[in-house]
Structures are given as structure tokens and as C-alpha cells.
Structure 1
């Protein structure tokens, strides 16, 4: 009789990845163990404890009873002894967890499939020396065997690269490029201000005389100002709660996510301003006003300065955008939403128990 494996994945990226790797995982596990395997994917949410962490002991009750093995895919980060934990298995519960963010961003399906195979083989074989199980290890991460809890094995990143992968993976889950679509007020204010650069000759003269390094500094200032304003105005900064490690992690990801989103908006606005300048401004007229022959570089510099001006002005419009939409781009808020839904699900059960 074939062994039953169920991949329980949260909606979004985890569920997409579960569908992508299912066939590869099933074939590889069957080949490694020498027995037939049936694998199915299903949606589901993991349970958070009082500290906001995910543990198998809190989540296994929500899985299918008929499954021989259960492997959870979650978008939330996991830490073990203060270090990133990409995966965990518990042979006593025949279950495991894979934290998608800890797998990074490059070749994500391949990394998730590799970890899934190692976890499932480890659960089936129960042998910590199994080659497929140990294949998840590298110079930067090792399986940690819990002496206090029988059967628990956690893959722990033992280098700064593990933190870098985790932050990049969390940014990938946040999808910073989608943050741009929520900043309609910012984009409108930035575009309106940038358009002044196309019509005011004094800005033409300034843009073509400023040294490029000064323009770099102006750009860095504009992007940083916009990102800071978005974080402060929308109260995205995590603090308090007695979770210093988690707060630092969430804040780092929030800063990187917002900076990436603002940089994406900057590039898009720059291209639009550059094209608009080419269409509207006559080359001969620009030559007359700036006192030198106008070239393509003149339009590039003009778009550069005008875009930076627009981004600074756009920060003033950030408070008019959707607060909820911006807030959902942070992991801290998504964790709070999970705990709220979890509490709402538990309350009716408590009422029925009475």
C-alpha cells in the first residue's frame, strides 16, 4: 500500500510552490525510499503560539487524519535558538515544516523541492545518517537534533548568509513591486512635480550644470526621504512586545521592502519623464536656454533631476494613500491578522464547549 503524503500550504506563494514541486518530490521520495508514494496538496493555515511562532505541536491537529506524513509550507519566518530555521521535522508526529522565506529568492522551486525531499525522507527513514536527509546540510547550515524533545530535528542556518537569504526571501513574499500600485497619491504628486522640470528652463540649466555625483546624492536623499516618510507616516516600524529579535528582523525587511518599492517607482517615473522631455522639448530651444549644444545626455540629466524633485514632493502625498494596503506589505501586520483569525476561530469553539 502506498504511503500517503500531504503538502499543507498557506495561500499565496507557498501554495503555488507546493503545486510546482509536488511531482518532483513524489518521484524523488519514492526512489529514495523504494516504496510507492501518493502525494496531494491542500490549502491550510498554521497555528501561532503566544509568542507568534509556529510549532508542529500547535499545528498538527489541523491536518488530515488519514495522512501518513504531513509537510507544511509557510510564508512566515522561523527561528531556532535565535537563528533562521528553513526546515523542521518531528518523527513522533510524522510532520515537518518548511519556511519558504528562508529558501531565498533564486531558484526557489528547486530549493523548496530539495528541502521537501530531505524532510520527507528523514521522516520516512528515521535515520539521521541517511544521505538524502543529510543532503539538506551545507557549510552554512546544519541539522540540529533536539535533546529535550525526541524526534525533533531542525535545520539551522549557522552563518550571516542564512540571515541574508531569510531577509531576501521575506522581501520576495512581500512583493515590493506591488507596493507601487498602492501609492496612487504618491505617484500623482511625484509626476506632477517632475513635469515642472520639463517646462521650466531654470531646471534645464541646473540639471546640465550639476555634477553627476551630486545628482547621485540627491537621488539617494529623495529615495531615503520617501521610504522614511512611508514607514513613519504609516506606522510600519515594529517596537516593544519583548520580541527584540523578531522586531529587528521585521524592521529590516520592512525597510528593504519599502526602499525597493520606492526605487521601482523612481525608475518608472524617470523613464516617463525622460520620454516626455524628448517629446515636448525642442533641442534647438534647449540649446539656446542652457547655453551649450543640447544632446541626449542633457535630456537624461534633466529627467534625473526632475524625477528626484518629484519623489521628494511625492512623499507629501503618501499619507493620502491606503493605509491598510501599505500595512499589509509588512510581516508584522500579517502575523497580527493571523492571530486575530486564529482567536476568532477558537472563540466559537470555546462557546460550544461551555
Structure 2
């Protein structure tokens, strides 16, 4: 039995890490080949084009260059067919090339799901008699949300807080000062639960809006086509969900820190005597809630101290960050060219 040489070409960062985790693939039982020799190459094969056919051509070039029998590409790019349906897999069985969209796996149990999908792809392309589907569509109902969940998890919203160090320092400073302010105590005590909830929602929404505007995170269609508009909607929804999840994590962390700080430095009876009112430890929990809202807004304004690149790096996966940087560079080039005459002079 001959050894099957398999190439895994992965976009940089997370897809490359995933490829290295699953490179010890074993062939399915009954496989005709003696084994699989899997080689991983980190290559941005989807850069500059979001067309799946172009990606397959580039994978074919990689297979020829490395003398692989077949090749599978791993990308964080959402794939769509000509009818606008989202894809998990697109393959060219004749060229023995296939591309797998990692976000379409849903974002959970990624290593197991990716391993299973790649093993199925390789086994199907290696066996000419296989009846495996060469194009796997996501469900029409629910497929878009599964893809969106995968994109959000690929963006790793939990890394938003450490990625914005200036914002975090501003939020902690705001919370520390507000906790020992008597006026803040009076305001917190005067607010009902529903008003505190509104303050929470408003503060999170304000920070998300500020990050989108200040970091220029809103995606614009490349052209007027329906496909480009749908792609931009998908990216913008994933951005908003990513930022909202990240800010909510920040809010919860600030609440815990402010609560611990207040319990450590404050005595409700002393503060109550100063304010001529009766206060207990339950009021400290309400205070921490109110202060978390104020500190979240302060942290959002502090994000203005960060560069646009730092904000994008904290909000996007590496693949998405590179894509948006490329599009921004292309738009700037187009604007510069439109401002010049045929001889290169400005009009």
C-alpha cells in the first residue's frame, strides 16, 4: 500500500494552530492507502480574494509545489455558493482540493469537529469510488446563526479587556474614586432596580458604539452587489456581538473588583452616619452595581487612548483583522488615485 501525502494549508493564527493540533490524522478503517503523511503549511491562501474558486486554485498550486496527493485548506473565511447559501466545505474532487470554513463548525468543540471533517474530506478525496458530498451546505434555517456564532468565538471576545489596557486602567480608576464618593452613594441608593438595569444597558451600548466609531470598525460593502451587502451585514453583526460580549465581560469584572474594593475599605455604618441615613452591607452591592456602569463608560472613553490598530486587534480574529486592514488600504489607495489627473497631478 502506498503512503498518501496530504497537505493542510491554513490561514495564519488560529487556523494554523488548529492544523497542527489535528495533523496526526489516522485514515478510516478500510482505507486503501498504507497511511497518511500530513504536512502543515501556514499560508494566507484567502488573502485578497473571498472567492472560494480562487481559494481552490491557490490550494492546487500549493499541492503541485509540495508534491502532495491532495490538499485541504482551513480558513476563518465564511464561504458561500452562487445561490447565496453558506457552506461548510467546498471541494474539487478532480483536483483533489478542498477548503473548510472553520466558523461554519459553530465555534464549540472545534478540535474534534475539525478533525472529523478533515478526516472525512481526505478519505473521500482519496477514494475515487467515494460518494461523499463535495459541497456541504449549512442548514437554510439556523445555518447563518451557526456561522455567526463561529465567527464571534473566533474573534475571542474575552480578550477584549486585556487588549485595551488604557481602557481598563481608566475603568478601574473611575470605579475606585466613585466608590468612596458620598454623592455616588446617594445616587445609587435613590435608584430603583429597573433604573439600575437601564443604566447597565445604556453604559454597555454607549461603550460598544464608541468602540465602533472610534476604532472605525464598521464594515462597508466592497461594491453594490447583494453578496457584498450580505457579507458586510454578517461581519458587522459579528463585530457588534463580539464587542457586546467583551464589554459585558468587562462589566462583570468591574462589578466584582468594585464590590471587593468597597467591602474592604468601607464601613456602611460609618458612611450612613456621614450621610445621616441607615446603610447596610446590602447597599454596598447596589453601590457596586451603579459604579460598574459609571466605570464601564469611563473605560470606554479611555479606549480613545488606544490606537485603531490595538482596538481592531482586540476585537477581531487575525484573519478578520488582516481582511479589514487590506480593504482599508485599498480604499485609501483608490481615494488617492481618484484625486490625481492622468499625469499624476492633483486636480
TM tier, smaller: 0.7 to 0.9
TM-score by length of 2: 0.83
2:76 and 2:20 map into 1 onto residues whose CA distance is: 15
Q: Structure 1 residues 110 and 245, CA, compared in 2 at 3 Å: closer, same or farther?
A: same
Partner of 2:159: 178
Partner of 1:318: 303
Gaps of 5+ in 2: 330-347
Shift of 1:225: 0.4
Please identify, of 199-208 and 110-119, the stretch whose mean Cα deviation from structure 2 is larger.
Answer: 199-208
**Residue 299 (structure 1) aligned with residue 280 (structure 2):** no
Q: Structure 1 residues 57 and 338, CA, compared in 2 at 3 Å: closer, same or farther?
A: farther
Shift of 1:279: 1.0
Partner of 1:77: 78
When the two chains are superposed, the root-mean-square deviation of aligned CA atoms in Å is 2.4
Partner of 1:93: 95
**Residue 309 (structure 1) aligned with residue 311 (structure 2):** no
SS at match of 2:23: helix
Shift of 1:340: 10
Shift of 1:323: 1.1
Q: Tell me if structure 2 keeps the 8 A contact 1:274–1:299.
A: yes
User: Could you tell me which of 297, 311, 322 is aligned with 1:334?
Assistant: 322
Please identify, of 101-110 and 327-336, the stretch whose mean Cα deviation from structure 2 is larger.
Answer: 327-336
SS at match of 1:292: coil
Partner of 1:114: 116
Shift of 1:30: 4.0
Q: Structure 1 residues 14 and 202, CA, compared in 2 at 3 Å: closer, same or farther?
A: same
* Partner deviation per Cα, 1:208-243 (whole Å, 9 max, x = no partner): 342222211110110010000000111110113221
2:276 and 2:231 map into 1 onto residues whose CA distance is: 53
Partner of 1:235: 216
SS at match of 2:67: coil
User: Could you tell me which of 23, 35, 50 is aligned with 2:33?
Assistant: 35
1:286 and 1:339 map into 2 onto residues whose CA distance is: 55
Partner of 1:60: 60
Gaps of 5+ in 1: 134-142, 144-152, 342-354
The alignment covers a number of residue pairs equal to 316
* Partner deviation per Cα, 1:13-32 (whole Å, 9 max, x = no partner): 21222222233xx32x2424
**Residue 269 (structure 1) aligned with residue 254 (structure 2):** yes
Shift of 1:275: 0.8
Partner of 2:107: 105
Q: Structure 1 residues 98 and 240, CA, compared in 2 at 3 Å: closer, same or farther?
A: closer
User: Could you tell me which of 191, 210, 215 is aligned with 2:196?
Assistant: 215
Q: Tell me if structure 2 keeps the 8 A contact 1:86–1:102.
A: yes
TM-score by length of 1: 0.82
Please identify, of 95-104 and 12-21, the stretch whose mean Cα deviation from structure 2 is larger.
Answer: 12-21
Q: Structure 1 residues 160 and 88, CA, compared in 2 at 3 Å: closer, same or farther?
A: same
1:166 and 1:125 map into 2 onto residues whose CA distance is: 29
